[in-house]
Structure 1
Amino acid sequence: MKRALYLAAVAVVAIVGWLLLRAPGFGPAPESTFVLLDGSKQTTADFRGRVVLVNFWATSCTTCVAEMPKLMSTYDKYRERGFDTVAVAMSYDPPSYVVNFSQTRKLPFKVAIDNTGSVATAWGEVRLTPTTYLVDKRGQIVKRYVGEPDFAELHRLIEELLAQA
């Protein structure tokens, strides 16, 4: 019995370690194409020179919906200083729900729909929402949040990154 529990614990640690190593934690942001609600496309390369928050979310995710006002105020606070936000709706989220949510909440930042799941896959097999990445001006991922970020910490980090040349 103890041996079985030990082996199960080792397996869990191994799986978690493997997932963390596969996910882009720190390093270059993956080359991705974001298809925005208006049909236009932007790539990660288009954001070079700006600090970018990439937020994977879903309209059915209560934490995602609850954090949206904070994401909006963060965007409004820093956008004039070279900060951008892309909210990437997960592939299982019906596009009509995403459009309706974006319009009724008047989301001020870019909203993308990941119909095929390829963007979530490129960013480390994102499955849990919200998952948020902070990318610096050089296109390097500097922070990953699973769940709602600590917004005070996030704001300090954004200010540091905006101050860098």
Structure 2
Amino acid sequence: MAANASGRNGWTMAQAARQYVEHIRSLRLREAAVAEELEAARSGAVRAQALSQSAGGGPEHGDDAVFSLVARTAELQAEWEADAVELASEAAEFRQCLAGVPDPSYRLALSMRANGRTWAEVAAQLHVSERAAYRVGEFAYVALWSVMPEQWRRLAFPDCRPEGVDWA
């Protein structure tokens, strides 16, 4: 049985769609944060290498500091690559869903939110007040409901899950 809008109110459908968009948003923001941390670790490794050449002692000097930063950089690189793969897969699915949303202002608002933009930035891009942007967002979430992945609709309406299927 598919999760559908029959007997559902718009607020609940919007909540389910919001969860989906915020999931994509969190993936993008996490990937960006790890990329930034990776860049900092890389530049820290260069500084540690320079410090290993200088006189002085302690854990922040010498080869141990370089090896520690190189190891951390490798961990961050692996984490970033895993995040990038997950984001690429989910972002492609999200773009496909957005293509099914008929109103261009709704598509823009959803896309901007998924890309980490604030509602103030969405409002500026739509040339409306922030309050109006929130309203556009609510309508956009309801419009997204019908085209978003089934598993996200089922999260909002657990009673729609087929027996024996666990989407969590």
TM-score normalised by structure 2 residue count: 0.30
**Structure (1/2) with the larger strand percentage:** 1
Q: Say which one has the larger Rg.
A: 2
Instruction: Give TM-score scaled by structure 1 length.
Output: 0.31
More helix by share: 2
